[in-house]
A and B are shown apart, each in its own frame.
Chain A
């Protein structure tokens, strides 16, 4: 398993163009350097450790820098007491992290791939999520942040491609956050680490190297539970998160050529999610499309769709469209068929607008 995991980090990532045109509402105060996503994560971790002596970073292989290089240089800078390898055991990592966080520390744990988070599921769902509630507020593990790379990477097959966010969105007490770009990743990760609740932070591994944008060097946070309207439009609202935002943006561009004006929303925090921003947008456009890589059935898109129908039923001009992964295990050679691609999105946009 280790060999596979390492290979997953080392292999070349197929080309997937990144557009820097996604304008952030929260513009950085100062200009930063051009950084890719793993370097932005790395910078956030440096800042987290620098600004809080009670912060710790650990997980499988994080000591030498991590299979995706997100923890590069941390052990040298902050020492092996604060940045360290753990045994290969996800339930152990999560359980250990909960205990550490419960003692008033910031426990920043890495699960090497989201595909391997399931052994830790019990710890995250039954322990971390309920820690504060079940104690009547006497104890909490709010300092816990679990980082994990998720999603398609072009060659990852069943076990290096999954998007398990919906499982965690069904758990009161957790926050689930997924960034779309380097600048977002840094600001959101710092916000998650400092948030007084346990957070699962999924990082789009396809973008680790491919996504490059200007990232402010200073310490900054982006708000949780606030969606971001990254493109204004009038005909249809598109909602997504993480790597899928790129696909949606390209679909917006293509739709624009056909005279369709799309409003694009990055949800950023999946729970507790910003229903109001999505609702306001759909009230304006009258149409909604939700898109994610995870299988469509039971995906978080279903929750968004349902909530918006409840709130905007009379305003909707067409059924809510979902363009998502298929209800199969994530397939290797069929990945291009499985994925919610730009043209699948574009077709759904047209169908919805012309309903």
Chain B
């Protein structure tokens, strides 16, 4: 059906006939002006506000005539688009943003290789989404609580998680704050207000609403932010969270990284809506679409979202359009389901890091020499971190049984005792790097 009906030349017989019938009813005696005068007849007082009556049988269109536009600040060449309204980023912050994006790229390269060499079991890269990671983090305050999915380690990096801490986690050694219990890239850090990652999709989104409610009750000058992908918006938890947040009027930013792919499923097979951004309105949530490969645009959108979320106590939905330029994870080969030239295009022509670099270079804040130094230093530091992490022993066996509850219950004490006896009998069955 056409988006707006009643044009009369629609091929379907339904619409013209209804159209005629409506005209006929006016001929039968009611004039339009009479209808307008009778306000009781025109308006329905209904919970949520007054609703106008209409005698036109018209369905809401399934989509707007035009797709929601995408906010950007930098053009493809790293130039600020004239007339773009944006918050100026201080030089110091701007350079930290770039340096962290480079660090994130380097982390991805080196950890990915480490996985390929069999030194760590699993890895997920953030390639293509560096601007989303770092610029959104830069626009937040450390008091804002991050409830992440698994492709936002850059937020943690921005907040001060060290390369050694990243490495310790990915190697699951005794210094891993997660005590080696989860797969790599499931980072979490209480002191940096970054909730621990779980592999489940979208389950973290309603948590952010509860967190935001707590911040509101405690009158904190802070918001919650949760990240998820395009695939995550198909889960019930996404719906639950947006609806709860709107009803409860809590300061939360829902950040959707629409990177086009949920493992091998393209967004065309994920939803029929205009991405995620359009859905905000249906829930009563203010929303914006932003170019996820434009660090300044992401920074500005999140900065403004944060201000509104906190000062007006309301949820905000941000949809960043981007591209997952890497595979879903080290267990995936994305060339099996998407064209190489598409990947290549996003990796080169649309790369968010080089676009942002052009901007800082244009400001005279950056040059090749600083770039080389940075990349070489990060690489060196990371390789050292990995070596140290690899040499460190695993968490002790006792930690297998702690933290299930606040105290170890009797069934677990009994199981630990049995297990220790078994280990004594068959020490060869167990990894030698876990202290018993």
Contact = CB atoms under 8 A, between A and B. Distances in A.
Given A81-B217, A95-B203, A272-B410, A102 B182 contact: no
Nearest to A92: B240
Interface stretch (A44-52, A137-145, A235-243): A137-145
A89 B402 contact: no
B405 A136 contact: no
B17 to A, nearest CB: 37
A100 B214 contact: yes
A119 B240 CA distance: 11
B177 to A, nearest CB: 5
Contacts of B207: 95-96, 98-99, 102, 127
Given A95-B241, A275-B410, A122 B196 contact: no
A175 B188 CA distance: 24
Contact of B210 (A107, A130, A196): A107
A132 B181 contact: no
Given A100-B211, A103-B211, A123-B206, A138 B217 contact: no
Nearest to B206: A95
Residue from the set B240, B404, B409 with the largest chain A CB neighbour count within 10 Å: B240
Contact of A99 (B198, B214, B218): B214
A102 B210 contact: yes
A96 B236 CA distance: 13
B341 interface: no
Interface residues of B, number: 48
A272 B215 CA distance: 33
Contacts of B205: 95
A102 B211 contact: yes
Contacts of B211: 99-100, 102-103
B206 A96 contact: yes
Given A133-B181, A134-B181, A137-B403, A276 B410 contact: yes
B184 to A, nearest CB: 13
A138 B191 CA distance: 9
Given A92-B244, A133-B404, A134-B178, A272 B209 contact: no
28 contacts: A86-B244, A87-B244, A89-B240, A89-B244, A92-B206, A92-B237, A95-B209, A96-B210, A98-B206, A98-B210, A99-B211, A99-B212, A99-B224, A100-B210, A102-B207, A103-B211, A103-B214, A131-B196, A134-B178, A134-B188, A136-B181, A136-B188, A138-B177, A138-B178, A138-B189, A175-B405, A225-B409, A275-B411
**4 residue pairs, one from A and one from B, having the closest CB atoms:** A99-B210, A95-B206, A92-B240, A103-B214
